[in-house]
Amino acid sequence: MRVATYRCMNATIELDLLLPFVAVAEAASFSVAADRLGVSKGTVSRKIARLERRVGAELLHRTTRRVALSTAGAALYERAAPHLSALQRAVGSLPEREEQPSGELRITAPTDFGVVMLPDIVARFTMRYPGVRVDVHLGQRAVDLVAEGFDLAIRGAGGRLRDSSLAMRRLSPVEFLAYSSPFYVARRGAPKQIGEDGHDWIGFRPALRQLGFPAGLRPRIAGDDFFFVREAIRAGGGIGVLPTYVAEPLAKIGELVRVLSGFRVQTSGLVLLYPSSGTLARKVVAFRDLLVETLKTRRMG
């Protein structure tokens, strides 16, 4: 028996052509296949004709009574059908096809915001959406969301967005005040202005000027984490500028005191970043909305 040859190995075949072919092969009918696919019989016939031209072989023997696979058609069906079936199952089982958000949500945020604000928000989010797992990474490093597989980043607002692959949503502004410890004030007194000589200053190194420190001031203690700055102030090391959401819990119990009552810095605050390409996953939309809703009711500035 002569075995039919075809150029399938060298052809690029669209799924749009393979799906009708597999449907006809399994139904042994153009009409039934068209009904299953929700298209016209003519559409199915034209796509299979295109597929036959693409592979260079007749795939189906057509008679007035029946449709049967040719040798080439049987070989193509044997190779293509299992892969199409697996692909359809994979797409059908994607978490984001479900009505409720599900899957893993990866978030990166600054340590201070992550420790003070995120635990409650994340806990409420997972209670509201039991199908979602949340993986939070805290630190000051500006991660590459796409390359490192993150869904969302919470960052300090830093002007215009330079990465065109990301979308940005502005969150709450943040208020900064000057604080010291009761021990330091009792020992050294309170300053009359920020950066005043004769006092020890504790600074958040990445944003000294933005937080009101005069040019040229070298803090006695500097750090790149607001929790470190807060704890150095609480230990009596000097005076520093802190976000109110970081400082006020300790100020309320007397472990920090506010100084320079007329000093106040309000920054544009925090932004939420997420990849802008394609449709947003339900888990991303749901967390974004809960975060925005929560920050509207919690004072950060």
Cα-Cα end-to-end distance for the chain: 83
- Answer yes or no: do 285 and 167 share one domain: yes
Q: How does DSSP assign 196-261, residue by residue?
A: -TTS-EEEEGGGTTTTTPPTT---SEEES-HHHHHHHHHTTS-EEEEEHHHHHHHHTTTSSEEE-T
pLDDT for the residue 4: 35
282 domain-assigned? yes
pLDDT for the residue 233: 97
- Answer yes or no: do 30 and 80 share one domain: yes
Q: The whole model's pTM is what?
A: 0.61
Domain end among 39, 68, 93 = 93
pLDDT for the residue 88: 64
- Answer yes or no: do 124 and 240 share one domain: no
- Answer yes or no: do 131 and 169 share one domain: yes
- Answer yes or no: do 160 and 274 share one domain: yes
Q: Total domain count for the chain?
A: 3
- Answer yes or no: do 146 and 14 share one domain: no
Domain end among 93, 127, 152 = 93
Residue identified by tokens 């709450």 is 172
22 domain-assigned? yes
User: Domain span at residue 179?
Assistant: 174-266
Nearest to 254 by CA among 202, 180, 176: 180
- Answer yes or no: do 178 and 240 share one domain: yes
Cβ proximity of 207 and 122 under 8 Å: no
pLDDT tens readout for residues 14-69: 777 888 888 888 888 888 888 777 778 888 888 888 888 888 888 888 876 778 88
pLDDT for the residue 267: 82
- Answer yes or no: do 161 and 275 share one domain: yes
pLDDT for the residue 128: 93
3 domain-assigned? no
- Answer yes or no: do 166 and 291 share one domain: yes
H/E run at residue 169 = strand 166-170
288 domain-assigned? yes
- Answer yes or no: do 229 and 147 share one domain: no
How many CB atoms are closer than 10 A to CB 14? Answer: 11
Please list the residues that pair with 109 across neighbouring strands.
138
CATH code where residue 75 lies: 1.10.10.10
Residue identified by tokens 């992550």 is 114
**β-strands 174-180, 152-156 pairing:** unpaired
Planar angle of CA 260, 170, 194, nearest 5 degrees: 15
pLDDT for the residue 228: 95
Nearest to 270 by CA among 162, 169, 178, 177: 169
249 domain-assigned? yes
Cβ proximity of 95 and 103 under 8 Å: yes
CATH code where residue 291 lies: 3.40.190.10
Structure tokens at 132: 């979602």
- Answer yes or no: do 180 and 113 share one domain: no
- Answer yes or no: do 168 and 39 share one domain: no
Q: Name residues whose C-beta falls within 8 Å of residue 51's C-beta, 6 or more positions apart in sequence.
A: 13, 17, 18, 20, 21, 59
Nearest to 30 by CA among 13, 47, 14: 47
Per-residue pLDDT of the chain (301 residues; tens, 9 = 90+): 333 333 444 455 677 788 888 888 888 888 888 877 777 888 888 888 888 888 888 888 887 677 888 888 888 888 888 877 777 666 555 555 556 888 899 999 999 999 989 999 999 999 999 999 999 999 888 788 877 888 999 988 765 555 667 788 888 888 999 999 999 999 999 999 999 999 999 999 988 998 999 998 999 999 999 999 999 999 999 999 999 999 999 999 999 999 999 999 988 778 898 887 667 888 999 999 999 888 887 766 5
2 domain-assigned? no
72 domain-assigned? yes
161 domain-assigned? yes
pLDDT for the residue 1: 33
How many CB atoms are closer than 10 A to CB 201? Answer: 23
